[in-house]
Amino acid sequence: MSAHESVIIPKKELPANIVKLGWALTVIGLVLVVLSYVTDAQRAGFNNIIGFTFLASVAVGAVFFIALEYIAGAVWSTPFRRVLEFLGMLLIPVVLLAIPIFMNFHDLYHWTHADVVANDKVLQSKSPYLNEQFFTIRFVIYIVIWSLFYFIFRHNSLKQDQDSDQKRTKKNIALAAAFIPLLAISISLFSIDWLMSLEPHWFSTMFGVYYFTGSILTALAVTTYFVVVLSEKGYFFKGINENHYYSFGALLFGLLSFWAYIAFSQFMLIWYANLPEENFWFIARWQNGWEYVSVAIVLLHFWIPYFMLVSRPSKMKPRTLKQSAAILIAAHFLDMYWLVMPTYSASPVLSYYELAFPVLSIGVIIVLFAMQAKKYNLVPVGDPKLQRGIDFTL
Amino acid sequence: MEKKLYSITAIYSYPNDIIRAAKTVRDAGYKKFDVHTPYPIHGLDGAMGLKETKLGFVTLAAAIVGAAGMISFASWVAVVDYPQVIGGKPYWSWPAFVPVTYEIAVLLAVLGTVGAMIAFFFKFPNISHPLHDTPYMKKVSADKFGVSIQADDEQFDEKKVRELLKSAGGEVEAVYYSEEFLTFKPQTFDPKFIVLLAGIALATSAGGYLYFNKVLYLPPFDWMMMQPKVNPQTMSEFYADGFGMRLPVAGTVARGFIPYPYALGAKADSVGKFLVNPLLPTKTTLDLGKKKYFTYCSPCHGNFGNGDSRMNGQFPNPPTLHSDKVRTWPDGAIFHTITVGQNVMPSYQYQISREERWAIVNYIRTLQRAYNAKESDLQ
């Protein structure tokens, strides 16, 4: 038991080759993005929405887990909270990625055309909510809520590294209690605004929670991936063991099952009722090749990681964790693609347009992480729960 | 009676102490020992050197049995035993089976796990144990943590064990038991016991009945059922003739209802020529006709009007609708048959609207045409 050893926290820079890879991906991604916007702004715009909602998932999901740890008084995750705090920084690229979408708004969102709305009863009745001014105001509100809480959490946590002041934990707990309901509402509306309104006639009350679960699952997968890679390379404290890994595995497993539950419920209710105003959305995703994408999502987002993680020993194996996390990250990209692209094209398309934003997103995640890891401790050394978290056993 | 040594126990005050003690005992090589704590303690399994439990496999097996059983049962019911078209979907509409399959899998997994846990892992019905009712057990089920090393362990040596537990910082105490323990048989089916149980059951229900009904005088909860109004098929004290159900005032016509001029006995082929089909065989009317035909007629006449439905043999078999007779009938004759029925076939005028009846007629015409296609239809 390491109860008496003091925690040795390495404060090293990440390996140069990882940082280089991050920069390389970012630059390649940026070049591809510019190229896509120059050649086909509409297609680039749809892909922009994919990259944007993906990064928003990781960023907001990370802030969610920070808040969750505080409010649940979770102990095992304390040593890894800093990873989440670094990932929350992605809120900045999220805002940047929204700009080109706003610039091409009319090519992407059908309901922004006044003449279309004027001749469409359904869109008319939705227009008090779905109009450009209110849309923009809402986006600003979401970003303000998310970043306000994120930066206060982060500020308190980083300050605690120096003064080990327990009051900071208390403050964050109170903030977390206020944040979680706000987050639940804002992320649901966010997904309705940016994803569901691509098909403005369609509606599903399950959609908000669908995106919400996908988001926190993805944020957790990214965190798990970072934690496993970093600890394999010796960047975490010494005592990281299967108890910690098991907790990651169990949480991933639970969340991916919950995602499947939500995804299936959304599908089944629409399939069963078979109402034309709802079912066309799924029909479009079940023809002209989209059916393969749909099946791929079911496999990658659920069945494959489900069987990889179902047994207790496999939840403790870093390799399995890393692989299933990588699959889940890819699956979330595919999920966003599946939500967005049928609006653009009747059958699936794949070219450098579709690669630009995933490459850019991955690059940005690595670069932002590395930049912060250089500056701050990888472990919240001042947190009162840290030692208990390190000694955690199942 | 002679007392035998069951085990040497030691009491500790803190969770960390018990983990350390468990490790010490394990490292000293004892096999037959157990740890008792008032609540589950993280990390104790590892400290005691327990093997991974096999219970998970029971859960898995039960879940697989539940899922496989339920999906086959649902499929059999929906496809083989009682095939019914629901919402225009194929018989084997598997997404509809997913919720039950999932729930039965969870249910069986839970029941299987708890059942196996009680039956095999807790060694049910072992209701007596030498540690029961000892001061040791009282402490460890309140606020202390205890370890107990059994005397039948291979390397048990009382002095050494006492020293070991003491060195780990515990209050050591021996637990003895009498021979009775080994011969004790629970007397579950003792007649006196059964009579006692029956007596308790009788006394509580009789007491409850007397108290609520006769002492408190609570009426049974039937406020919904006993409303102060006349129910269908009941007597009325208000009306002189005593009928609760009243006839409409003479000459009343329901909204949208057009009285049918022909009587039940009228021959289909004779009145048929006076009725003119107002519907054209368009796609909409044929679709409507098909839907209504499937709902109202196919249970007896079969999906294609051959008289071969699954009711065949359980009800006077309906004739085929492809006979020369029905094919040469005017549309109105079929309409008349639907409206007033024919012998054992009941009337459908209250279930099926006029328009729908004509749509069914059109649909039957298409079925007949399909079965007796002319050369020219094939071109």
- Domain boundaries in chain A? 16-390
- Chain segment A235-281, per-residue pLDDT in tens: 887 778 888 999 999 999 999 999 999 999 999 999 998 888 899 99
| Whether B283 contacts chain A with CB within 8 A | no
Within 8 A of B97 by CB-CB distance, chain A residues are: none
Within 8 A of B109 by CB-CB distance, chain A residues are: none
| Of residues A164 and A176, more confidently modeled | A176
Residues 18-47 of B with CB under 8 A from A: 42-43, 45-46
CA distances from B167 to A1, B23, B148 (A): 19, 13, 15
Nearest chain A residue to B19, by CA? A1
Dmax over CA atoms of chain B, in Å, equals 113
Phi, psi angle pair for A76, to nearest 5° = -60, -30
Predicted pLDDT of residue A2: 37
Instruction: Say which of B56, B95, B99 has its CB closest to residue A271.
Output: B95
Predicted pLDDT of residue A3: 38
In eight-state DSSP terms, residue B212 is I
Strands of the sheet with B171-178, listed across from one edge: B33-36, B145-150, B3-12, B171-178
Kindly state the tokens that stand for A272: 């069963």
Q: Helices A91-103 and A352-375 sit at what angle, rounded to 10 degrees?
A: 150
One-letter amino acid at B52 equals E
CA distances from B341 to A82, B263, B278 (A): 79, 10, 21
Sorted by sequence, the CB contacts under 8 Å of residue B296 that are 6+ apart come out as B348, B351, B352, B360
Question: Does residue A363 surpass a pLDDT of 80?
Answer: yes
Contact B158, B10 (CB under 8 A): no
Instruction: Say which of B42, B52, B96 has its CB closest to residue A272.
Output: B96
Lowest-confidence region among A22-36, B9-23, B205-219, B287-301: B205-219
Contact A90, A59 (CB under 8 A): yes
Residues in chain A: 394
Within 8 A of B43 by CB-CB distance, chain A residues are: 393-394
Residues 253-272 of A with CB under 8 A from B: 264, 267-268, 271-272
Q: What is the CB neighbour count within 10 angstroms for residue B317?
A: 14
Contact A394 B98 (CB under 8 A): no
d(C-alpha B248, C-alpha B258), whole Å: 16
d(C-alpha A363, C-alpha B359), whole Å: 64
Lowest-confidence region among A322-331, B76-85, B251-260: B251-260
> How far does the CA of residue A269 sit from the closest CA of chain B (Å)?
9
The rounded Cα B252 to chain-centroid distance in angstroms is 48
> How far does the CA of residue B364 sit from the closest CA of chain A (Å)?
27
| Whether A2 contacts chain B with CB within 8 A | no
Question: Does residue B314 surpass a pLDDT of 50?
Answer: yes
- Chain segment B98-153, per-residue pLDDT in tens: 999 999 999 999 999 999 988 888 777 666 788 888 889 999 999 999 999 988 88
Question: Does residue A5 surpass a pLDDT of 50?
Answer: no
> How far does the CA of residue A284 sit from the closest CA of chain B (Å)?
18
Sorted by sequence, the CB contacts under 8 Å of residue A108 that are 6+ apart come out as A42, A45, A46, A49, A101, A198
Q: ipTM more than 0.85?
A: no
Contact A274 B87 (CB under 8 A): yes
Contact A268 B88 (CB under 8 A): no
| Whether B52 contacts chain A with CB within 8 A | yes
Contact B96 A268 (CB under 8 A): yes
Contact B43 A393 (CB under 8 A): yes
> How far does the CA of residue B36 sit from the closest CA of chain A (Å)?
17
| Whether A295 contacts chain B with CB within 8 A | no
Contact B52 A312 (CB under 8 A): yes
Contact B98 A393 (CB under 8 A): no
Contact A392 B42 (CB under 8 A): yes
**B269-287 mean pLDDT:** 88
d(C-alpha A259, C-alpha A266), whole Å: 11
> Counting runs of H as helices and runs of E as strands, what totals does chain B give?
14, 4
Per-range mean pLDDT, top range of A61-75, A230-244, B205-219, B310-324: A61-75
Within 8 A of A393 by CB-CB distance, chain B residues are: 42-43, 46
Q: Which helix (H) or strand (E) holds A80?
A: none
- Chain segment A91-134, per-residue pLDDT in tens: 999 999 999 999 999 999 999 998 999 999 999 999 999 999 99
| Whether A276 contacts chain B with CB within 8 A | no
| Whether B95 contacts chain A with CB within 8 A | yes
| Of residues B21 and B228, more confidently modeled | B21
**B155-162 mean pLDDT:** 88
Within 8 A of A313 by CB-CB distance, chain B residues are: 52
Nearest chain A residue to B89, by CA? A272
| Whether B199 contacts chain A with CB within 8 A | no
Instruction: Say which of A268, A313, A392 has its CB closest to residue B98.
Output: A268
Q: What is the CB neighbour count within 10 angstroms for residue B274?
A: 12
Nearest chain B residue to A266, by CA? B95
Predicted pLDDT of residue A157: 94
Predicted pLDDT of residue B184: 66
Instruction: Say which of B52, B56, B98 has its CB closest to residue A264.
Output: B98
Average pLDDT of chain B, as a whole number: 87
Predicted pLDDT of residue B126: 66
pLDDT tier at B213, thresholds 50, 70, 90: confident
Instruction: Say which of B42, B56, B89 has its CB closest to residue A394.
Output: B42
Residue with tokens 């994919």: A50
Contact B87 A272 (CB under 8 A): yes
pLDDT tier at B335, thresholds 50, 70, 90: very high
| Whether A133 contacts chain B with CB within 8 A | no
Within 8 A of B96 by CB-CB distance, chain A residues are: 268, 272
Sorted by sequence, the CB contacts under 8 Å of residue B128 that are 6+ apart come out as B181, B184, B186
Predicted pLDDT of residue B186: 67
d(C-alpha A349, C-alpha A289), whole Å: 10
pLDDT tier at A11, thresholds 50, 70, 90: low
d(C-alpha B25, C-alpha B45), whole Å: 13
- Chain segment A66-97, per-residue pLDDT in tens: 999 999 999 999 999 999 999 999 999 999 99
Query: Which residues, in sequence order, are bridge partners of residue A44?
Result: none
* Percentage of chain A modeled with pLDDT above 70: 97
Q: Quote the Cα angle for A327-A328-A333, to 5°.
A: 100
Nearest chain B residue to A391, by CA? B43
